[in-house]
């Protein structure tokens, strides 16, 4: 059984390679390049897998899931400039793909009673990245 809970946070990021000129950065990153960055209202779907507990009828206590995601992800990224305020992205671009991989690392093995199945992060309605861990 898999269940998914949705979370939201807002953050800014900057796509800029310091080794490139502004013109080269614009050519590489298009509208995502700017001097100061830009922000998104991210939507994060966290899917967990487990057996249904016959006593509770649930695979996870959603209160526990919410607490772990709040403490490990939302508090870390919400209303932050990812390039400058979050150590996770020092020296690397905080792309949607990079965020998903980092969020997976922050949550994997930390949700009581179940396994992390999949992470999906929407940067906006038309763009998301998804990760389900390394294949066995």
**Catalytic residue positions, numbered:** 32, 79, 123
Q: Distance between CA atoms of 50 and 115, rounded to whole angstroms?
A: 6
Q: CB neighbours (10 Å) of residue 111? A: 20
How distant, in Å, are the alpha carbons of 5, 59, 102, 118 from that of 2?
A: 10, 8, 21, 9
Q: β-strands 38-49, 2-13: how paired?
A: antiparallel
Pull the structure tokens for residue 110: 């930390």
Q: Report the C-alpha dihedral over residues 90, 98, 15, 75, rounded to 10 degrees.
A: -70
Q: β-strands 80-81, 2-13: how paired?
A: parallel
């Amino acid at each position: 059984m898999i269940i998914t809970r949705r979370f939201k946070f807002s953050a800014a990021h900057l796509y800029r390679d310091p080794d490139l000129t502004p013109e080269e950065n614009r050519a590489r990153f298009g509208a995502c390049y700017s001097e100061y960055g830009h922000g998104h209202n991210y939507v994060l779907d966290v899917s967990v897998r487990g057996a249904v507990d016959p006593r509770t009828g649930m695979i996870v206590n959603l209160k526990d899931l919410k607490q772990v995601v709040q403490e490990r992800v939302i508090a870390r990224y919400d209303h932050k400039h990812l390039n400058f305020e979050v150590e996770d992205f020092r020296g690397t671009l905080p792309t949607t793909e990079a965020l998903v991989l980092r969020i997976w690392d922050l949550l994997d093995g930390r949700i009581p009673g179940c396994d992390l199945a999949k992470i999906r992060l929407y940067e906006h309605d038309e763009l998301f990245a998804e990760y389900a861990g390394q294949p066995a």
